[in-house]
Structure 1
Amino acid sequence: MAIVHDWLVTWAGAEKVLEEFLTLFPSAELFTTVNFLDKANIPALRGRTIHTSYIQRLPGARKHYRRYLPLMPAAVEQFDLKGFDLILSSSHAVAKGIIPDPSAVHVCYCYSPMRYAWDMQHQYLRQAGVRGIKAALMRWQLHKLRLWDFASAQRVDHFIAISYYIQRRIACFYRREAEVVYPPVDTERYRHDRPRENFYLAASRLVPYKRLDLIVEAFNHMPERSLVVIGDGPERRRLEALAGSNVTLLGYQEDAVLIDHLERARAFVFMAEEDFGILPVEAQAAGAPVIGYGIGGLSETVIDGETGVHVAWQQAEALCQAVDAFERCQAENPDAYPATVCSANARRFGRAVFRAELSKRLGAWLSYCPEGPPRSAATSVSADRCQS
């Protein structure tokens, strides 16, 4: 078996899913465009055979690997996957574009079609601040990338989407069907029975699309309510200048501090349009209701009126109205948004559920092939083995 991942530079959300893949398939070989992680510090990578592309050896690849994106389609197509019976690609960019052995089963776990190449092209170019000839060149490169992205999607046997929101994007851009298996969230490490305190919490990397500016602006209009923000990133200085006296920015904090705040916050506030969104699930696991933008993954993970409030518009005024409605509901019914219900809802996205759902689908696809069964190595990857 082969597992293909876009790149290994940080250990973040997609890599937590990769960790589950590596746990399910301990003998699988791993392919990735670049790997700059220290295997000694990451248990899931220890003793693992990791194949990298020629981009690994190019100048400045460690810090500026993204600049080599135009070369990555050719790089992943150079991986020699002859003889592998099952190929599982973990892809939000190029990993799905490998050229499989025709007798192999290729399953792509898709986080999203490349946003910067498809529907968010213009936003990314504006944020990059490019103009003139450079902007025209980048648009041409993205056009070529889109053509390759669509063509390479046709080489995948089965798509798995991380949410129904992404399932629709796969259908729109790739014209392919996908089944949904939600990403794994470590819901067991949270307590949901701690007393709630009178502050709201927001947490994420401080980058523009997370819309922390909108949250801070909304709480500036509600000076009687306290907001705590955890996270760091390029937006931090601007947010500090924008924040009123009722807003506290703590910067980057260790997991223990974040968990502590999630377990004590009155509610968690989240206004990004996410493909799935792990933090809103973690907040519910900690017993905190979620007040968030009701588009994207959050519309699937937060139950409006039971474990949180969906905000209809990505606007500060709409968020203020949602917070008012949330507090009015709690004033009228102190048992509204109970921590036990929030925690139970979060467990739908637990790691055990993910493993069982993935195993069921892989087992079904490997047991049926219209041109005959896969070779013996593939047929041995049963659902029971996946779960062991």
Structure 2
Amino acid sequence: MKVALVHDYLTQRGGAERVFELLCKYFDRADIYTSVYHASKTVDLGDRQINTTFLQQVPGTRKRFRLFAPLFYPAFRFLDLQDYDLIISSTSSFAKAVRKKPGAMHICFCHNITRFLWDTRTYLEEYGGLKKYSKALEPVLQSLRQADLIYSQEPDLYIANSSTVAKRIEKVYSRKSLVINYPIDTKKFIFSDCKEDFYLISSRMISYKRLDIAIEAFNWLGLPLVIIGDGPERKRLEAKALDNIKFLGFVNDEWRTHLMAKAKAVVITALEDYGLVPIESNASGTPVVAYGAGGVLDTQVHKETGILFKPQSPEALQTALFMAEQQQWDYHQIRAHAVNNFSEAVFFKQVRQTIEEFCGKSVIDSIELNLDLESDRALVEVN
């Protein structure tokens, strides 16, 4: 059976690209397709051949791909995938539009509905340079919304990364989906049950992350807070913060994992579609204090792996921090929760089981899979 893996664009290294990288490792004999490819800016796909669309030859598409949005649906429609029996798309927008031959199956790993079309205001605020063009863009966006609804019917099966995304897929696209939570690479995290006296935030500093809530809460409480990450909001947040709040900017992976293992808790103030940081925190044996909506409802157990608070306000976060200070945490149990539910091995087993149930055992038996990836991996312990 011939398998094609399709992703929106490989020009950056984000969560969606990381999941696609995992799929490429698991389906290690599948052919890879994308609209545009920039090898030095995206995930490592080794020496695999990357098949692209006509957009690869259009000047500017690899650096400013968002400006070419109207061309992406036609680009994917023009791809010739008639030789493939199974198409697996990885998408937050365009790749679901690919054509398949009669009798072929299309499974879509949907990271979100097309955000710039269905949450346009938030998207334009995040990319401030585009906000001034919002009125001029609206006719184009309306046309793209109609196309998005049409092409959302192409996949035979949707797999969502969280219950929140599954609800959005049903609301906007009128399609049911299975939920398979995306994994973390547990071998990249260290475990410690010896916590130090500080809280941690690991986040991009952009408006929807709502780090202003944490700044205000920690200003009032005077508790030590370390913030790692960078972004356009950094100067504004630094100006509001008192001396108990430290901004470290970008840190390397080694130092980040150390901080995550030693923190009393990791604080999340954003409404995330899914979010890997809470799971990474748990894998380090560290609880979270998180806004109790969105993806954390799939990954966290209140008072066992973290404290969930509502509403999304400084006052609610302060109350949650008081609860976290008083809670008797079982750090080993917190780690086990992450490893047993969100490891790569668990993810791959769920993917194989889903394809077997949807396509049939004979289909999964005919696909060459890298089954070594279903082996469990241990975490390092550091005290």
TM-score, scaled to structure 1? 0.90
Can you give the 5+ residue segments of structure 1 that lack an aligned partner in the other structure?
A: 331-335
Contact in 2 for aligned 1:291/1:311 (Cα 8 Å): yes
| Paired letter, 1:17 | V
C-alpha distance after superposition, 1:233-265 (max 9, x if no partner): 222222221221111000001000100000100
Name the CA distance, whole Å, in 2 between partners of 1:112 and 1:61: 22
C-alpha distance after superposition, 1:313-356 (max 9, x if no partner): 111121111111222x23xxxxx221112111112110000000
1:95 matches 2:102: no
Contact in 2 for aligned 1:271/1:314 (Cα 8 Å): yes
Change (3 A) 1:131 1:23: closer
Aligned to 2:72: 72
Contact in 2 for aligned 1:366/1:379 (Cα 8 Å): no
| Paired letter, 2:97 | G
Aligned to 1:264: 262
| Paired letter, 1:356 | K
Superposed counterparts of 1:267-306, under 5 Å: 267-306=265-304
| CA deviation after TM superposition for structure 1 residue 188, in Å | 3.2
Change (3 A) 1:126 1:193: closer
Q: Secondary structure at the match of 2:231?
A: coil
Superposed counterparts of 1:25-174, under 5 Å: 25-38=27-40, 43=44, 45-118=45-118, 120-126=119-125, 128=128, 134-174=133-173
| CA deviation after TM superposition for structure 1 residue 69, in Å | 1.2
| Paired letter, 2:342 | F
Superposed counterparts of 1:190-201, under 5 Å: 190-201=189-200
Aligned to 1:353: 346
Q: Secondary structure at the match of 2:116?
A: coil
Aligned to 2:331: 339
Identity %: 36
1:367 matches 2:370: no
Name the CA distance, whole Å, in 2 between partners of 1:387 and 1:201: 31
Aligned to 1:333: none
Name the CA distance, whole Å, in 1 between partners of 2:155 and 2:337: 32
Change (3 A) 1:131 1:206: closer
**More displaced, 285-294 or 15-24?**
15-24
Contact in 1 for aligned 2:91/2:111 (Cα 8 Å): yes
Can you give the 5+ residue segments of structure 2 that lack an aligned partner in the other structure?
A: 375-383
Name the CA distance, whole Å, in 1 between partners of 2:242 and 2:345: 42
TM-score, scaled to structure 2? 0.91
Name the CA distance, whole Å, in 1 between partners of 2:260 and 2:23: 28
Name the CA distance, whole Å, in 1 between partners of 2:265 and 2:225: 10
Aligned to 2:377: none
Superposed counterparts of 1:173-192, under 5 Å: 173-192=172-191
Change (3 A) 1:144 1:386: farther
Change (3 A) 1:384 1:259: closer
| Paired letter, 1:18 | F
Change (3 A) 1:131 1:196: closer
Q: Report the RMSD for the aligned CA atoms in angstroms.
A: 2.2
Name the CA distance, whole Å, in 2 between partners of 1:340 and 1:214: 30
Change (3 A) 1:17 1:130: closer
